[in-house]
């Protein structure tokens, strides 16, 4: 375990295949790169590293609500600003390291969301980055869950990227509230905020720097987002030109892909990111 000058704790993983940095606050991965390669994740150069504040960039955990799905909760829920416990960090072999982090209900969480739960995030760092987020309902009543890995991908320039794998999929255009259908690959020339449904295969991010494969389990929705110029200039912990440097492709249970968990039942959201 390492600490920044202000006491902010994070875990640094190093093996022969890759390195990663994971904050205990939010169970937030803010660096992942394979040996001799650049980081696949974008991190704001003015991101705040302090407990209780969401880190701008990397992979925030949106849980138990995505966006403003539950108006009684903060945007994207409370997991991304909560302190997780490290259960273990173990080298499986010279190429693979496994980390398990846990968040459970507390007096603070029950004031926001009055349910008992256990949230486990298993992270596998190797030549791929794998995340498995298990939600267990420890309460006596069912609850509704929306969630996402809000992944910021590091790119050369937003105008030079293309996203494939979502052709013909229906999506909610969050900018105008209309249901639409994707036609071809996604390219960017304006603000983009879309929640795709019936997602059942690999999503591929193509950049002139590299290609990244995104595969999901326990999910049939994905969010694609870039704030573009005007919104970027208003956002916290983000420089005015930052929109050029990233695109978010979020493995999720969002919009119609919400999950209802009965008592003692669980659901696991999985994502695997592979630079090609």
Catalytic residues: 150, 250
Backbone angles phi, psi at 97, to 5 degrees: -125, 135
Distance CA 199, CA 249 (A): 12
Distance CA 187, CA 106 (A): 43
Backbone angles phi, psi at 117, to 5 degrees: -155, 165
Q: What is the DSSP string of 147-185?
A: EEE--EEE-S-GGG-EEES-TT-EEEETTTTEEEE--SS
- Give the residues across from 130 on adjacent strands: 124, 272
**Which one-letter DSSP state was computed for residue 262?**
P
Torsion of CA 32, 35, 37, 40, to 10 degrees: -10
Torsion of CA 210, 241, 69, 252, to 10 degrees: 10
Distance CA 193, CA 195 (A): 7
239 token code pair: 């420089």
Distance CA 121, CA 220 (A): 19
Distance CA 45, CA 151 (A): 16
**Using an 8 Å Cβ cutoff, are 238 and 232 in contact?**
yes
């Amino acid at each position: 375990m390492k600490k920044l000058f202000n006491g902010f704790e994070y875990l640094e993983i190093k093996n022969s295949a890759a390195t990663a940095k994971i904050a205990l606050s939010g169970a937030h991965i803010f660096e992942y790169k394979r040996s001799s390669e650049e980081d696949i994740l974008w991190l704001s150069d003015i991101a705040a590293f302090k407990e209780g504040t969401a880190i701008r960039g990397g992979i925030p955990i949106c849980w138990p609500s995505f966006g403003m799905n539950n108006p009684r909760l903060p945007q994207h829920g409370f997991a991304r600003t909560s302190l997780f416990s490290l259960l273990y960090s173990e080298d499986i072999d010279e190429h693979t390291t496994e980390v398990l982090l846990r968040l459970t209900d507390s007096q603070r969480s029950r004031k926001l969301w009055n349910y008992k739960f256990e949230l486990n995030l298993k992270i596998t760092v190797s030549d791929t980055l794998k995340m498995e987020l298990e939600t267990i309902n420890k309460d006596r009543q069912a609850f509704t869950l929306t969630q996402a890995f809000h992944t910021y991908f590091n790119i050369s320039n937003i105008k030079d990227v293309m996203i494939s794998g979502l052709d013909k999929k229906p999506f909610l255009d969050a900018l105008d509230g209309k249901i639409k259908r994707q036609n071809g690959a996604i390219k960017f020339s304006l603000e983009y905020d879309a929640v795709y449904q019936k997602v059942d295969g690999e999503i591929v991010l193509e950049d002139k720097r590299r290609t990244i494969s995104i595969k999901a389990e326990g999910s049939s929705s994905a969010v694609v987002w870039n704030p573009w110029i005007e919104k970027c200039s208003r956002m916290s912990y983000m420089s005015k030109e930052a929109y050029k440097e990233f695109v978010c492709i979020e493995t999720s249970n969002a919009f119609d892909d919400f999950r209802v968990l009965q008592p003692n039942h669980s659901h696991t959201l999985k994502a695997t990111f592979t630079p090609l």
